[in-house]
Each structure stands twice: as structure tokens, then as C-alpha cells.
Structure 1
Amino acid sequence: MCIFAGTNPFHRHQQINRIIEGWRKLETVIAIDNQWTSTCRFADIVLPATTQFERNDLDQYGNHSNRGIIAMKQVVPPQFEARNDFDIFRELCRRFNREEAFTEGLDEMAG
């Protein structure tokens, strides 16, 4: 099993045929994204993620200098069936009996 969250290896790697070859060896591929990408197209399961406007989150500022971190507050409720990454991973871990190990008792903004 392989889970891709918010990334698109088909877009980031030059040797697409090697990616597809390796991809076919995986039993299950899950893609988590807020856009339909090549990764979603080739995934067995696609889970809709929220955008930055639909969740509480942290972001960096200062271009690539990483000068600081800011808290971003949710502006609109999640659209349709979208869930934030924390909730998606918490639910996946719950189904594998690993929820407590993942959350350590914290919520999406604690820690």
C-alpha cells in the first residue's frame, strides 16, 4: 500500500514509465488531494481533501526562506465530501487500530 497526500509524482519525475512500472507492483494506491491529478487518475482510491480555505492549518511565509509560521483559520466549511488531511489520516489509522498512535490524543491544531 502507498498513500500520496497532496503530491503528484507523475508531475515531479522525469521517467514516467518507471513510475508506472513501480506503481503496478503496489497492491493498493490511495491519493489524497483537492484537485484531480495524474496521481488520482492512477490511484485505486481517491479521497477528497480540503483546500486551505476549508480547514484550520499552519503555513510558512517568506517565500523559500521559511521566515515564520502563521496560523490559518477556516473561512468556509468543507465542500461536498472533502475532509482535512488530519481527519483523513486519523480515520485510516482508526481502521488499522492505530488511531491513538497517530493522534497521541491531540486534535488538528494541538501540539
Structure 2
Amino acid sequence: MASNAKVVSTKVTAVLSSGARTVKVGYVDQTDVWKRVYLSPEIQQKFKATSEKHLSSLKPETDMVALQETPHASESENRTHFTAVEIDEKGSVIAKRHFAIE
């Protein structure tokens, strides 16, 4: 999957809360380059758990964190990780993140 693809739409799978902070969790189901027709419940759950560990590091304006790429390693980052995007209330991508899989 092209990591620089423009996010077109997402699916919400959960909501995380910590104190007054609430963030939606989900996945990118369409970009300008590809469509995701299925994401296994196991990957969804693993991404939710991983996102929960990183909740405090998300930007204050993040409304949703969405999985863009399933677990992988890359030349720039050898550890296995999810590629995720942080999305604000307007639906704009405000950050791209790598969350290591433990």
C-alpha cells in the first residue's frame, strides 16, 4: 500500500477515553490509490490496544487515530509497526505515526 496515499474515508471501530480525552479508533478503508474491503477483527483489536498505549502522545486536536498500514517493517524502520494517521474533527490528516507492535 502506498504510505503517502491521501485518505478518502475511514471506519470507526472503537472509542478510547482517558480522563476528559476521547479519541475514536478505526482504520482507513479508502485512499486515492486503494480500497480496503476487509480488516480482520484480530488486527482491529491489536490496533485498538496499541493505540490505547499511545493515547497520551497523540496531538491535542486529534479526533481519530486510524490504521493505514497493517503490521510491517520497512527500510526506514526495521521494527514491526502499524502506520497510523491522526485525523482532526474536520477529517484532515494532521500527523502520520508508526506504532511499534510489542
TM-score, length-scaled by structure 2: 0.27
Which structure is higher in strand share? Answer: 2
Which structure's relative contact order is higher, taking Cα pairs within 8 Å and 6+ residues apart? 2
Which structure is higher in helix share? Answer: 1
Structure showing greater radius of gyration is: 1
